Amino acid sequence: MISAGDFLDAGHAAGVDFFTGVPCSFLTPLINGAIADTRLAYVAAASEGEAVAIASGAWLAGHKTAVICQNSGLGNAVNPITSLNYPFRIPTLMVVTWRAGLGLKDEPQHELMGRITPGLLDLMEVPHRPFPTSAADVALAIEEALLKMDKTGRPFAFIMQKGDVTNDGGGDMSAPPARARGQITDVCEGGELPSRYAAMETLLGGISDDTAIIATTGKCGRELFTINDRPQHLYQVGSMGCAAAMGLGVALNVERPVVVLDGDGAALMKLGSLATIGAYAPDNLVHVVLDNGTYDSTGGQPTVSASVDFAGVAADCGYGAGIRCDGRGGFIKALAQAKGSGGPTLIHMRVRPGSMSGLGRPTISPADVALRFKEFLSP
């Protein structure tokens, strides 16, 4: 048994200073300690998958990160672990609790995940070991985990059992202060909707070269690559819905502007991220939802976006501004308004479905995209 301080001190000494996750009762001392520890950043994620994406963004911005969660939440994180961390070679130190672990009688909803937790990590090729339970072993266990991650570019998991960490009282835990409802503006022009490609060309013409851009999965990233391939672009080839969370992890840790190019389907998949972004409120983040009303990349099946006011939802979640727009002129106005909104801005840009025939794919590997993006972000 160790104290939360034993783990957090050793982690901090080794450079692990950015934490995110979702609580578990087995985690209470550690997660409360991380939230209260003023040396560390802690972001309360809406889901474990979102936490993995936030941590990935923070890693790209130069931090050593930790994701802490229950083994139930491992289920929520499977997609980004396999289709974000793996192809992009983005490590994070995971602390996963083991409800229904070895010999532990637990609730029925934990039984199956308890049985498969180590095997699921093995299947995802995430190396793991038991959480260190002796104060003398903690520093070495963390050092070995970091070395392994350096070598593999993959996450590493500590599996924590009930009672592994003593409750040493933690400290004051503060949440981000409540934010006022953001401003909602409408700069719609009507007329024929531009294509997603044309909207992205407009965007690239209207932002400075120091802007980092994260594009969602599917044709959005493929079109961005086709328009122009630059180190400041990250094409999120998998992890549908995780672009905004990654953008948050980046924007919280850099001064430069960050733009997330989302799809309506992807934004709907992880709508909880709007709440997290609104709460932590980096004012250098512009979140563009390119809404074509469809899952265009998979054949144009309709989404439910027709009844979703993304700008209104964002404003209600604490974004500084939510802007509705459609035509090219409206998008240019929206981009100009995004500067100085006093928080992140969501631009709900309506585009028409469809893409060019014979659209290519990034010819640079995700791992190389991540490395050059990380380098671009470094001060």
Ligand X SMILES: Cc1ncc(C[n+]2csc(CCOP(=O)(O)OP(=O)(O)O)c2C)c(N)n1
Nearest CB to ligand X, comparing residues 26 and 331:
331
Residue pointed to by tokens 């909707």: 193
Taking CB under 6 A as the criterion, the residue among 86, 197, 295, 373 binding ligand X is: 295
Sign of CA dihedral 205, 210, 216, 220: positive
What is the 8-class DSSP label of residue 181?
Answer: P
Which range binds ligand X by CB under 6 A, 58-66, 135-143, 212-220, 339-347? 212-220
Q: Cβ distance 33 to 238 under 8 Å?
A: no
Taking CB under 6 A as the criterion, the residue among 294, 324, 344, 345 binding ligand X is: 294
Nearest to 152, CA basis, from 8, 367, 364: 367
Q: Cβ distance 310 to 334 under 8 Å?
A: no
* Sequence-distant (≥ 6) Cβ neighbours of residue 269 within 8 angstroms: 240, 241
Taking CB under 6 A as the criterion, the residue among 43, 145, 240, 245 binding ligand X is: 240
Which range binds ligand X by CB under 6 A, 97-105, 181-189, 198-206, 213-221? 213-221
Q: In angstroms, what is the minimal distance from the CB of 275 to ligand X?
A: 19
Rule CB under 6 A: which of 11-30 touch ligand X? none
* Sequence-distant (≥ 6) Cβ neighbours of residue 355 within 8 angstroms: 195, 196, 197, 219, 222, 223, 296
Taking CB under 6 A as the criterion, the residue among 132, 182, 221, 265 binding ligand X is: 265
Taking CB under 6 A as the criterion, the residue among 195, 217, 236, 284 binding ligand X is: 217
Q: Cβ distance 20 to 45 under 8 Å?
A: yes
Which range binds ligand X by CB under 6 A, 36-44, 111-119, 297-305, 332-340? 297-305
The number of residues that bind ligand X (CB under 6 A) is: 20
Q: In angstroms, what is the minimal distance from the CB of 241 to ligand X?
A: 7
Give the span between the Cα atoms of 257 and 30, in whole angstroms: 33
Nearest CB to ligand X, comparing residues 47 and 284:
47
Structure tokens at 230: 């630059």
What is the 8-class DSSP label of residue 177?
Answer: P
366 binds ligand X, rule: CB under 6 A:
no
Q: In angstroms, what is the minimal distance from the CB of 372 to ligand X?
A: 23
Task: Please give the residue ranges that form the binding site for ligand X (CB under 6 A).
Answer: 79, 196, 216-220, 238, 240, 263-266, 292, 294-298, 303
